Structure 1
Amino acid sequence: MKGYFHFMKRDTLIAETTATKAEIAEMAGIDWTNYSETVDGIVSGMIADPVGYRVFKGGLLIRDGFIESVLSEEEVYSRGNSGESIMEVGWILPGLVDSHIHVESSMLSPWEFSRRATACGTVSCVCDPHEISNVLGIHGVEYMHREGEKTPMKFIFGAPSCVPATPFDSCAQPIEVEQIEYLFDETGLTFLGEMMNFPGVLNRDKGVMKKINAALSRGLPVDGHCPGLSGSDLEKYFGSGITTDHECFTLEEAKEKIFLGMKIQIREGSAVRNFEELIPLAFENADSCMFCSDDRHPEDLMKGHINLLVGRGLEKGIPILDLLKMASLNPVLHYRIPMGMLQQGDSADFITVSSLEEFIPDMTVISGRIVARSGESLMPCMISGNCPAGNSPPFVTAEELVCIPDSGRASEFPVIVVIPDQIVTAGATVDLVPGVPLQSDVSSDTLLIGVIDRYGKSRPGLGLVRGFGLKKGAIASTVCHDSHNLIFVSADIPSALAVINGLAESGGGIAVAQDGRLLELLPLPIAGLMSEDSCEDVAEIYEALELLAKKLGTSLQAPFMTLSFMALLVIPSLKIGPMGPFDVKRFTWV
């Protein structure tokens, strides 16, 4: 299970080295080992080993960050009598893995995300940095990779495959096959991120296939994204070399993909939750499944991470070894993660829990060092000092928020209809008065929605939306998948101007306004996506923003999460973009 680390020391490439994570961090100017405790000796308890598919009483002999021996109960007793130090714990389990996540969606820096997630027992995350790469191009990917290597967590980063997400989206700098090959060969990224452009795959678009082949020719896996795809289209998609999917919504859909040989990532995140629908797969298809969150907001990360899914699986009667296959072994094998799996010679990466009934990590150990105890990180909050901002949203005037549909569009003007707790939307129409600007009508919950292009390529794209329920004020965010322009919904123009221009002044973030006055703003100085504050502080401000939005009238459980997906032009059916309403099924501006 040992593997080579690829990493960046500052801006200088160091390729294929056996340096430890601690050495990497030290060379980057951070010595996280100063804040951790060394495990040296025997850790004894019930061992759940998904590699050998066995549970037994025994111990791990830890030396210099590696597992020197896996001991039986008798060997533990014998060595203890010989004077070897023994740490008694309840259960010893492999560290947990999030097999598909966009760390940027946590609104936390890689360091702070690592600090909080390792306290939940997560030792590795498989990350697709396509959020920040839309804002900063290839430099955003390099930033995430460089910052990730400074942390105790074993981050695995992939090369984004769809930047921008569609030809209709704007971004700072498109990532083409040449940049992807550079990220593979020079930066050491180890997989191709989710291929959202499934029409391009099905039509064997040359540019799309070059990206896929860049990974396959290097023996690297390619992540998928194909919600609802089935039959011959699914066979063609899978036949391109794509091997995973985290976008399954039904059991039947997942089983069809497993039958073809795909790995299914059961997603339970802040935005989309598919665990209850898909967890029955674990009883017969544990070898073909992994757990992932996709997106995890700070207030949810405070409650837990992949450990919550393992705990819920145990409550449903799924054997612990099958759950550990899904939560640890399968992603380690699929993505070749250099993470120990409780075998002799492995890196000493593991977690301990007192009991399986509660499944609360007592201790997280990475490379033989304790980085978290009792759900609390031993790592300090830390600012990287290298904070890329990207393009700030532009300031706008009231005149720029005026959109007068021509006489041909006034009849049956499209209206986005929000579906609560979903990122898909429905569509409706409304008859407008020709020559009258688009405006909010709170009595019918028809509100002005708009996208402000932060890359300066178009005027504001304006439309109408139902389902947000605002009776007054406005909300806005630069967390706006996947281009991360500024998106807003408002009941009145003065409040819209307050949130838009407040975010323009701050460089990005999330904001709420009422009566033309800014009420609260969460600054996100890293590309308008992430904070450098602690998870606790970000969660507190974010929850305050949600409470304010609900006071403005919204009944949505997660109004800002819902808002952030209203411009995602690859998820049906009607969305909003820099040019206005967009019909995803017809793949055209309306």
Structure 2
Amino acid sequence: MITRISNIQVYNTSRRIFEKLDVYIKDEYFYHIGNDDIPYDVLVDGHDHYMIPGLIDSHMHIESSMTTPQEYSNTVLPLGTTTILADAHEVANVFGVQGLLEYMNQEQTLDVYWAIPSSVPSTNSTLETTGGTIGDHDVVELAKHPRVIALGEIMNFKDVTSDEDTLTKRIIKSFRSALPLAPVEGHIPRVSGLELSKFIELGIGSDHTHQSVDSLIEKTRAGILVQLQEKSLTPEIIQAIYDYELLHSIALVTDDVLPNDLMDTGSLNHIIKKVVSMGMDIKDAIFASTYTPAQRLRLFDRGIIAPGKIADAVILSSLDDFVIEEVYKKGRNINDIEKDTIVNFNESSYHSIQRNPVSIDDFIVKAEGDSVKVRVMERESGATFTHEEFVDVAVKDGIVQWEEAGLSLISVIERYGHNVPITWGFVKNGFTTKAAIASSWAHDHHNILVMGTDVQEIVATVNRVIEMQGGIVWHGESVVEVPLPYGGVVSLEPMPQLAQKIKTISEEMRTAGYESINSIMSFSILGLLVSPYLKISEHGYVDVRTQTFKSWNAS
């Protein structure tokens, strides 16, 4: 069947302009673009709207939206995203290779390609406990999967910069042997100079982490494709792209998007609107979210409106405001396609929390003397970075009075059946009121991460997460629970209901004094051992750069 869409402004990728042309779609593909009289079966009036290629998100994690591939597809297709490259390292950290394959084998309307998780665990089993691991031999087998087209973000700084033969280096070598031309993704925050070169020489070709103008210039000069997510977007970054003619060296991505943000602001369409508000030409923003990612991922069958390409397209009624009227997926209007339904996963996937309940005694911090100098994680409120600080805290009857010092207690509770003894740390710029949050959605190990200002509430939230077999529990002005039954990281609820619960917790966290652009994400990354500079695992504080443990007691 041939469909003709007339009276439409068509995006010309090669010139980054719009031209009024007819578009002919034959079955799943673009057939012809031009003002020629060709027989057709269906005529569609384009109403002088704008047609652009379907958006391609080249770096993201479905589980960061706490949902299934099917519900993610239902949510982002109407927002214009028609293809994604997903790195399911959250599922892999919980379930290992078999669980990863179960998640990757899901079917949905959205085209989902996969990057093999390269850092499971993100560091090593000495520093953190996970439910699964991925080694170099696993990579060889996973590379045979028909939807695998990349190696996921390389994030183990020590493994990469070491002169030794490390697991990360062997994983990259195995992947490049299996798929020589496929891209290798990078996670390179605040890395420069020779250390940056050590990432690049291994074949790592992209970075999606928080960028400054200096890092943007240095990384693009070295051949890195810089993938700009929301936290990197500033007027200065956009101006630098034009000043240094870097349009061909950047792409727009979402990375991690919580359910409430997905529902309230959008996906890649939101990133496009934001860069335009900061000074990027809309036609350049379209280029950076269609053609550039398609080329990066070697998906040469899409990202451009041209004969023989897959007919993925977005129809905009307003170019300046990026107002989406219709979305076509493989030649069909998505309004004519049934929504994807969530299938049931393996029953064992719903019983993954193997931890005994905790007690108040587990969180009594003891020390000798009248005071103790404690090591503290000081949060950057506008980013996910933390810094080491020291605070003198009073000791009464042998118990550290961290509450009086205005600190929040933080701990990672191992959940995979080993019942590792509980250790603690302290957070500056945590909560300022009586509150606690516990979550099995904790990047990337997904043990139970808990933080609070009241020990009883800390215990209550942790035990409820254990009882629920995974989820997020908030105790503050109100009690909010988010069940995440699949591995403790994925909800089976429709996105609107899930999003509302996450939004409520985020708002209550801010009310309780937790200042952040993205409260729940920021909290979850306090246990991510590859995000600078001081983080915490179930064994205690970890210096991210040296990958060594540090005691909370600095006296």
Instruction: Give me the TM-score of the superposition, normalised by structure 2.
Output: 0.90
CA contact (8 A) 1:381 1:533 kept: no
**1:305 maps to which of 254, 264, 267:** 267
List per-residue Cα deviations over 1:58-90 (Å, max 9, x = no partner): 021112121111123xx2xx458x886233240
List per-residue Cα deviations over 1:16-46 (Å, max 9, x = no partner): xxxxxxxxxxxxxxxxxxxxxx983335411
How many angstroms does 1:552 deviate by?
4.4
| Pairs within 5 Å for 1:104-253 | 104-147=63-106, 150-167=107-124, 168-186=127-145, 188-206=147-165, 207-217=167-177, 218-219=179-180, 220-253=182-215
Distance 1:180 1:418 in 2: 35
Inter-CA distance 186–323: structure 2 relative to 1 (3 Å threshold): closer
Give the match for residue 10 of structure 1.
none
Give the match for residue 45 of structure 2.
87
How many angstroms does 1:221 deviate by?
1.1
| Pairs within 5 Å for 1:167-566 | 167=124, 168-186=127-145, 188-206=147-165, 207-217=167-177, 218-219=179-180, 220-268=182-230, 272-283=231-242, 284-302=245-263, 303-337=265-299, 338-339=301-302, 341-372=304-335, 379-380=338-339, 382-386=341-345, 388-389=349-350, 391-392=352-353, 394=355, 395-405=357-367, 411-432=372-393, 433=395, 436-438=398-400, 440-441=402-403, 443-457=404-418, 458-513=420-475, 519-556=479-516, 558-566=518-526
CA contact (8 A) 1:42 1:85 kept: yes
SS of the counterpart of 1:215?
helix
Unaligned runs of 5+ residues in structure 2 are 551-555
Distance 1:434 1:178 in 2: 53
Distance 2:207 2:516 in 1: 28
**1:587 maps to which of 542, 547, 553:** 547
Distance 1:354 1:86 in 2: 15
Instruction: Give me the TM-score of the superposition, normalised by structure 1.
Output: 0.85
Instruction: State, as a whole percentage, how many aligned pairs show the same letter.
Output: 26
Q: Which moved more, 1:136-145 or 1:289-298?
A: 136-145
Distance 1:369 1:160 in 2: 32
| Pairs within 5 Å for 1:62-77 | 62-72=25-35, 75=36
Distance 1:132 1:530 in 2: 9
Distance 1:390 1:132 in 2: 14
Tell me if 1:576 matches 2:536: yes
How many angstroms does 1:93 deviate by?
0.2
SS of the counterpart of 1:119?
helix
Distance 1:233 1:554 in 2: 33
Distance 2:379 2:362 in 1: 25
Corresponding letter in the other structure for 1:154: D
Corresponding letter in the other structure for 1:91: Y
Corresponding letter in the other structure for 1:579: H
Unaligned runs of 5+ residues in structure 1 are 1-37
Corresponding letter in the other structure for 2:90: E
How many angstroms does 1:204 deviate by?
4.3
List per-residue Cα deviations over 1:467-510 (Å, max 9, x = no partner): 12242131111111110111111222211111001110111111
Distance 2:398 2:18 in 1: 71
How many angstroms does 1:275 deviate by?
4.8
Give the match for residue 11 of structure 2.
48
CA contact (8 A) 1:99 1:331 kept: yes
Inter-CA distance 423–315: structure 2 relative to 1 (3 Å threshold): closer
How many angstroms does 1:421 deviate by?
2.6
Corresponding letter in the other structure for 2:334: V
Inter-CA distance 142–582: structure 2 relative to 1 (3 Å threshold): same
Distance 2:401 2:534 in 1: 19
Inter-CA distance 360–461: structure 2 relative to 1 (3 Å threshold): farther
Distance 2:277 2:233 in 1: 17
Inter-CA distance 379–400: structure 2 relative to 1 (3 Å threshold): farther
SS of the counterpart of 1:126?
strand
Distance 2:6 2:463 in 1: 56
Corresponding letter in the other structure for 2:249: S
Inter-CA distance 316–79: structure 2 relative to 1 (3 Å threshold): farther
CA contact (8 A) 2:387 2:534 kept: yes
Distance 1:214 1:83 in 2: 49
Inter-CA distance 119–86: structure 2 relative to 1 (3 Å threshold): closer
Distance 1:44 1:156 in 2: 33
Corresponding letter in the other structure for 2:412: V
Q: Which moved more, 1:336-345 or 1:86-95?
A: 336-345
List per-residue Cα deviations over 1:364-406 (Å, max 9, x = no partner): 1111111159xxxx65363211152362152212222234357
Distance 2:476 2:365 in 1: 22
Q: Which runs of 4+ in 1 moved over 6 A?
A: none
Distance 1:470 1:484 in 2: 26
Distance 1:137 1:244 in 2: 25
Corresponding letter in the other structure for 1:547: E
Distance 1:277 1:436 in 2: 51
List per-residue Cα deviations over 1:117-168 (Å, max 9, x = no partner): 1111011111111111111111232133112xx1111111111111101121
Q: State the number of aligned residues.
A: 535
Distance 2:510 2:193 in 1: 43
CA contact (8 A) 1:468 1:559 kept: no
